[in-house]
Amino acid sequence: MREVNFDGLCGPTHNYGGLSPGNVASMTHSGARSSPKSAALQGLAKMRFVRELGVPAALLPPQPRPSLRWLRSVGFRGGDDDVIRQAAAGDGVWLRLASSAAAMWTANAATVAPSPDTADQRLHLVPANLNFMVHRAIEAETTHSVLRAIFADEARFAVHAPLPAVSQLADEGAANHTRLHVPGRPAVHLLAWGRRGLGGGRAPVRFPARHTYEAAESLARLLQLDPEHTLLPQQHPDGIDAGAFHTDVLAVGDGGLLLVHELAFADLDGLLEGLRRRLGDGFTAVIARESELPVADAVAAYPFNSQLLTTESGRRVIVAPEESRENPRALDFLSRVQADGHVDAVHYLDLRQSMRNGGGPACLRLRVAMSDQERAAIQARVFVDDPLLEELNAWVERSYRDALDPRDLADPLLARESMAALDELTGILRIGSVYDFQRG
């Protein structure tokens, strides 16, 4: 089994909509001028870097934005240009919702269980319904279509439908999922949640808890996980109120190593005890206390929202955002992790276009552990190699705008440019007609 990091590629309408209460960076940069071309090129550079480290990389394509299908579903009528102009009227909130760039963060695309961990020995994927926020719930249908196109071999893969789109089953995907494993022991899955959908228990008061306990329970059943090796820890309400809207803002794991802030989980001591009992001496937790790394710095610099990776040569590395090097407290923590021998290296990358919208390196990837046979069963051209990267870089250069002002979203020409670019991309990736505008 080798882990493949499926990165999300931002689309030609990448913008700062400020649509996510609780995501401090998203709200801070709301309405700012963006650079879709820079964002896409930064993402492709990260994919190349991860691959050159010795970790297989792949990609998931952007989603069509604005989503004209969704705008029509809420009552806007007429041709494409008419729908865009109507949605842009007034304060333009309908168009901003339909134009969200958030689908680039594929950590929210689905929750994944590799075949050795499931009852039927197939690799299972459950697309997230992202039901808590309107601008993200738009993603579920297209994500399901894309994953079914890529993981098409039903003998090896099970791509489920998203959970029912109700608030009690709000599912935020792998951003709240951590898989830990050590040699000779079954893997342990952490399916975290922020609130009880059916009521009860403590919840945050400042910012919303997006993922429910009931959704976590349902995911464990759909993924066919062993209940003995599945833990459902609650996100710490104080962590959510500080801006840690997903678990991956304050925790990241790989193999038998868990890097975690003390405000990541409500009962951290109980969780660590359960992990040690299941994983034995091969499990290590590195805890950042509030005195060492204040949660405000963790949220601002995203040292946990990094990629914690094991390369094919066995080296363990961290790929962190440049912001973590610029923040003294975050830098000191990551330097301690390396100095204590938990990782061999820490690399810092410029992902500012994504970071300003509230997503770091870990937000941009979906981790999929696969066998060589499973990888060979995928016919889509989504695994990153030099020829694909060169073709995608050229595609971005000719298809994306250098700068985008929020007012540009009301230009119907932008939507036409985006649809033409995505239509070309599906041919490059050999995934067929996965977009609603391609199917009529």
The residues carrying an active-site annotation are: 172, 246, 363
Task: Give 126's strand partners.
Answer: 111
SS (H, E, C) the chain: CEEEEEEECCCCCCCCCCCCCCCHHHHHCCCCCECHHHHHHHHHHHHHHHHHHCCCEEEECCCCCCCHHHHHHCCCCCCHHHHHHHHHCCCCHHHHHHCCCHHHCHHHCEEEECHHHECCCCEEEEECCCCCCHHHHCHHHHHHHHHHHHCCCCCCEEECCCCCCCHHHCCCHHHHEEEECCCCCCCEEEECECECCCCCCCCCCCCCCCCEHHHHHHHHHHCCECHHHEECCEECHHHHHCCCCCHHHCEEEECCEEEEECCCECCHHHHHHHHHHHHHHHCEEEEECCCCCCHHHHHHHCCCCCEEEECCCCCEEEEEEHHHHHCHHHHHHHHHHHHCCCCCEEEEECCHHHHCCCCCCCCCEEEEEECHHHHHCCCCCCECCHHHHHHHHHHHHHHCCCCECHHHHHCHHHHHHHHHHHHHHHHHHCCCCCCHHHHC
Query: CB neighbours of 299 closer than 8 A, spacing ≥ 6?
Result: 24, 242, 243, 244, 249
Say what angle helices 412-429 and 386-399 make with each other, to 10 degrees. 170
Cβ neighbours around 86 below 10 Å, total: 16
Structure tokens at 315: 């080296």
Which residues are 159's β-sheet partners? 125
| Sheet containing 307-310: order of strands | 307-310, 316-321, 345-349
Nearest to 53 by CA among 308, 312, 363, 390: 312
